[in-house]
A and B are shown apart, each in its own frame.
Chain A
Amino acid sequence: MREFARAVFADAPQHTDVAAAQAAGYADVVAPPTFAMVIQDLTLQQLLAEPDSGIVLARTIHAEQRFTYSRPIVAGDELTAQLSVTGIRALGGNAMITSDATVTDAAGEHVVTATSVLLVGSDSEGEDA
């Protein structure tokens, strides 16, 4: 979590300093707001690994991202994420795929939902990244 905080220039002390996090009421250091992407990405990798998903990373663009928080992620959390594809829309020869990764803690309580919109190019176009 500290490495992630450093990588996104998150210099607020509650991300790296346990005492500062505890003074703000947290059990341990607090993850930056976009850290849930790391968990969502693990679920997206499972989707992409499905042989019939039709999603090829080289032709996929990350178009939108959203997080809806019940509480921040803190160090020590045991989290589970479940991905559901909530929308598929054809757009020219491309597909717009919306998915929600719902992240819950060890008690089953909602922590954060991470929503990604991926724009996936068709087979005939090889230029997207």
Chain B
Amino acid sequence: MAGFTVGDVIAERTVHLTRESLVRYAGASGDFNPIHYRDDVAAAVGLPGVLAHGMLTMGLASSVVVAALPADARLIDYGVRFTKPVVVDPENGADVHVLAKVGAVDETSARIDLTVKAAETTVLVKAQLRVAL
């Protein structure tokens, strides 16, 4: 796979999450922690609201990158740190913005650095996905 240059933006997308998105992810993943769909439970444990699953945010971020790569691209690794939660308002949902840039290139791989924000706050840090060249 050719053509990765450090600094290039390879993908950018804003994904709108709603409570339905959270229920869908709960069902597809099997993670039914009620803080992801019940306001009363979220409030009882001191959260600012119902939160998106961290793994939903991580998963949608890689979807943005994978859609921009050839279908046969091989991933080497993908890691994130979860720093801030994404609060999903019952009426207005939440927008998650994903920006993917080439962070480093060596002889065998390219490292894609992801900037993932919700409401102008960075929600994933050290979000890096490495692709084999």
Which A residues are closer than 8 A to B by beta carbons?
Answer: 3-4, 6-14, 20-21, 23-25, 32-34, 37-38, 41-42, 57-58, 61-69, 71-72, 115, 126-129
Contact = CB atoms under 8 A, between A and B. Distances in A.
Given A24-B72, A33-B129, A41-B31, A6 B78 contact: no
Interface of B: 15, 21, 24-25, 27-31, 33, 35, 42, 45-47, 51, 54-56, 58-60, 62-64, 66-67, 69-72, 74-82, 129
Contact of A7 (B35, B56, B64, B78): B56
Nearest to A34: B59
Which residue, of B28, B35, B45, has the highest number of chain A Cβ atoms within 10 A?
Answer: B28
Give the 10 A-B residue pairs with the shortest CB-CB distance, closest first: A8-B59, A66-B79, A24-B71, A7-B28, A34-B59, A10-B63, A24-B72, A4-B28, A7-B25, A3-B28
Given A12-B63, A23-B71, A41 B29 contact: yes
Contacts of B75: 33, 67, 69, 72
